Amino acid sequence: MTLVEQWRAIESELPEGWVAARLSLAVADEAQAPRAAALLGPATPGRAGSELGFVTSRRGAAVGPEAVRRLLRRLDEERIGGTLSLVGAEEAVPQAAVVADAATLEDSWEQAVAALPPDWSDALAEVEIGSSDQIARTALLLSPVNPSRLRGRNALRFRVARRFGYGASSEMTRRCLARVDEDGIRGTVRILRVLADTHPVATQGPVWQLDGRSV
């Protein structure tokens, strides 16, 4: 089966609402891996031995699915064989996952997680509070989840990893948000991006591109 045919098969199995997919190409002949990486250049692949990893996205900075097809066709034309695998897929977060006006931040988090796909593995989330006077205190209470401040907004963004990889656990996130609640700080929790069933290869997890920056 050609690489283009393998991609077609993978694409047909992706969820209907997928927005990004992380792919891994195991080149059959490791001596051809450098050439394969060069041909996949527009997709900025990472390489570990004979394995190449890259991302395709229906929106954002990554190459689109049609571009992936064209790039893989180049490899097929040069008779570079291998096995293309799906590492993980990102789905559009359901509107129900964006929770507003819940009684507490802890409740907001529980509702947001309940709305995610059952096999979710990685999430990018943010907490927005009403007053800039409380942002420093909120950041301190959320410090175990390693939040980053968003310029121009009273919001903090952080990553969550369900099983392994870079990011706080869902349970740690819940406990930290409960501490914010106990301090009398009110706000909103949103899950911005989510990936399902990821399996990082020689990495600590996925990288999202937002506004041209990696997060």
Indicate whether 42 pLDDT > 50.
Answer: yes
CA distance 208 to 160: 13
Q: pTM of the prediction? A: 0.53
Mark residue 133 as left, alpha or beta (left: phi above 0; alpha: psi -120 to 50; beta: remaining): alpha
User: In what side-by-side order are the strands of the sheet with 120-129?
Assistant: 46-48, 51-57, 18-27, 82-91, 187-196, 120-129, 155-161, 148-149
Indicate whether 88 pLDDT > 60.
Answer: yes
Cβ-Cβ contacts under 8 Å for 114 (sequence gap 6 or more): none
- Mean pLDDT confidence for 163-181: 87
Closest CA to 77 of 188, 152, 2: 2
Q: What pLDDT, on a 0 to 100 scale, did the predictor assign at position 67?
A: 92
Per the DSSP assignment, residues forming a β-bridge with 82 are 27
Residue given tokens 């891994």 in the structure block: 24
| Token representation of residue 166 | 């870079």
Mark residue 27 as left, alpha or beta (left: phi above 0; alpha: psi -120 to 50; beta: remaining): beta
**Domains located in the chain, CATH noted:** 3-89 (3.30.70), 95-196 (3.30.70)
CA-based angle 75:48:121, to the nearest 5?
100
Q: Using pLDDT thresholds of 50, 70 and 90, give the confidence band for residue 83.
A: very high
Indicate whether 94 pLDDT > 60.
Answer: no
Number of H helices, E strands in the chain: 6, 10
Q: Using pLDDT thresholds of 50, 70 and 90, give the confidence band for residue 126.
A: very high
- Mean pLDDT confidence for 108-132: 86
Closest CA to 123 of 64, 55, 206: 206
Per the DSSP assignment, residues forming a β-bridge with 84 are 25
Q: What pLDDT, on a 0 to 100 scale, did the predictor assign at position 73?
A: 96
